[in-house]
Amino acid sequence: MTMTDNQDGWLDNIKSSLKTQTATWLVAFAIAILGLFSSHITESVKFALNRADLRTKQFEELATEVSHYIFSAELNTEFIEHDWTTKATMTELLNEYNESITTLRKKEFVYQSWIQKFWGKNEADQFESFMKYVREFDSSVHSLNDEFEEVNIKGSKPKIDRKRAEEALKVMKPAIDNMRKQGRALLAAIE
């Protein structure tokens, strides 16, 4: 064995050792990088899943409240339109309406923020348009409060005044039609 053979073997060993160590360091470096990013990726996936879950839950709550309010408003309109306004028919109906409007209005800004956060500005504007008709309808119902009081609380009238009912219906009917259209459009947009 000559010196050159010995040197070549020694150089081959160094090359092989450097290759092995470099590969080991590269693999370790790659694992470290993946470890660093995997926690970020995992957190991003968790956040997206939680957001989707919250969005679904919030949609269901909002859709339920919007549907409940529209149904209650339609029922009140129907009873007033058909002159079914005795104490026996109006007491429970008005209580349900008051409950639905109170729930919707108490959470109006919560719903607005949810829509803005999870869906966007256009959808938030649609919700505001819907609420405009809700307030308009509610105002027309309030215009009959003294009549409801005469029938339901004082008992001094058998029914609400037909003329007053007709005046209120002029606002109620278009408001409920617009509210129904806006409610459907809103729920379709955020579904």
Q: Model confidence over 139-180: pLDDT tens digits?
A: 999 999 999 999 998 999 999 999 999 999 999 999 999 999
Largest Cα separation within the chain, whole Å, is 127
- Whether residue 83 lies inside any domain: the answer is yes
Domain count, the chain: 1
Position 180 in a domain:
yes
Taking the model in full, what pTM does it have? 0.74
Residues 148/90, Cβ–Cβ less than 8 Å: yes
Taking residue 12's Cβ as centre, other Cβ atoms within 10 Å add up to: 10
In a domain, 163, yes or no: yes
Within-domain flag for 172: yes
Question: What is the residue range of 65's domain?
Answer: 53-190
Taking Cα atoms as reference points, which of 82, 107, 98, 102 lies closest to residue 159? 82
Please check whether residue 26 lies inside any domain of the structure. no
* 98 within a domain of the structure (yes/no): yes
Residue at token pair 């999870």: 118
Within 8 A by CB and 6+ apart from 18, the residues are: none
Q: Where are the alpha helices (DSSP H) in the chain?
A: 3-81, 87-106, 108-118, 121-142, 145-148, 162-190
User: Does 104 fall in a domain?
Assistant: yes
pLDDT at position 48 over 70: no
The answer to the question of residue 155 being in a domain is: yes
